[in-house]
Amino acid sequence: MIVSLYYFFLEMWGINTVPSIISKLVMVFFGVYSLNYQYKSKQFDLMTSDYFFWINTAILLYNGCTMYISIFEVFIRDKDDLVLYYTWPFQLIITILFNLILTKGIWKMIR
Amino acid sequence: MENDSLIILSILSGTLFTFVLILTIVLVVVKYQRNKVNNENKHKEAIKNKELELLKRVIETQETEREKIAANIHDEIHPLLVTLKWSLEQELLELKKKVIENKFVANQLQMATTIIDNLHTATRDLSPRVIYKFGLVRAINSFLINIEELEVNYEYSEDKTVILPEIVSLNLYRIFLELINNIRKHEDAKSLDVFISITQVEILLTIKHTGAGMSKEEFDQYAAQSKGIGLNSIISRVKLLGASLDFKREPAPEIVLAVPLIHARED
């Protein structure tokens, strides 16, 4: 929520990809850290049975993959539609995957 | 334009690479965690099985003890009591006829003494009360006094300030009984030297005898093969006390049991 609000206000005053990349890096770091923490803490249950694993994986996958696109965001926006034509499906696939995994996590949480 | 294509290619390949990398990391972590959990669960299962096995052995030991006591009462005390009753009935008849003989009374007295002795053995097997009343040293002494077929020499050194936990005394006494019974049954010994030393830090029980004896390796081998209650009872109790049991054949057959007391007190 905080990150979303931050992006919203940031976009109001122009494009600056640096904070976005840094925030994605931080998210990836915490994603890997949580994965490691889960690996160590789960003694007798599979980590895939925990809802947090799925939410964490979704965040990790989304932020890790879109980070590369974020680095070239200015370039993609400046160039013609051809660049967007090639990169957009990737972004779309990652978003769909993110939503699917996140849905599984939420479903496991409320079940 | 060529530069643009190169950048597009690098974006796509970079994104794809990151995607594959993250997916691989997640899958590898999941796989390793699955293996770890499986191993932990197997270990847990093994411990559970071991506990069940131990519980089974405890119950079996209890049942055997009960059977032994029941057999003692049924085979030794019951026939004697029946005979005594029959004898008293006979005497009653003769008392009515007023022709009672001294030898009948002497027989009955002998029988009553045997019954008391048998009852004493049975109750000692059931619960060695002498331990609770007089302590380990005197309980061992009381047991050794009743051994007639062996020449027994008993010595002890006791720190009077040491108060032994009941669990230690009882288990050590049971181990001692089992060891002596094994010597009596299998060793063909003529004499027995028992020495017990109780200090602040440990109890050291040394049993020397003139039988064939056995080495520690032989004992471990017997214990591993044995399905009998005696050896298993010794091993379980030694483990429970955190003690060490050593067997020596040279220069003379010897059994040394060392029980650390600091460990027992901490428990």
B116 interfacial to chain A (CB closer than 8 Å): no
Give yes or no for a cis peptide into B79 (omega within 30° of 0).
no
Q: Chain B interface, mutation test: which of A35, A63, A98, most B Cβ atoms within 10 Å? A: A35
Residues 166-205 of B with CB under 8 A from A: none
Residue B57: name the closest of B229, B222, B231, B220 by CA.
B229
Q: What average pLDDT score do residues B210-239 get?
A: 81
Whose tokens are 């779309």? That residue is A92
HSE-up (13 A, CA, CB side) for residue B226: 15
Q: Does B23 touch chain A (CB under 8 A)?
A: yes
B19, B36, B41 member nearest A65 (Cβ): B19
Polymer length of chain B:
267
Where does the pLDDT of residue A40 fall: very low under 50, low under 70, confident under 90, or very high at 90 and above? confident
* Burial readout B127-138 (b: 16 or more C-beta within 10 A, e: otherwise): ebebbeeebbbe
User: Is ipTM over 0.85?
Assistant: no
Distance CA B72, CA B114 (A): 12
Question: pLDDT tens digits for B108-117?
Answer: 778 788 887 7
Which residues from B are below 8 Å from A42, CB to CB? 33, 37
pTM exceeds 0.95 for this model: no
Interface test with B, best of A30, A46, A49 (most B CBs within 10 A): A46
Instruction: State pLDDT tens for residues B150-172.
Output: 888 999 998 888 888 888 888 89
Closest-CA residue in chain B for A46?
B34
pLDDT in tens, B236-262: 888 888 889 999 888 888 999 999 886
**3-class DSSP state for residue B14?**
helix
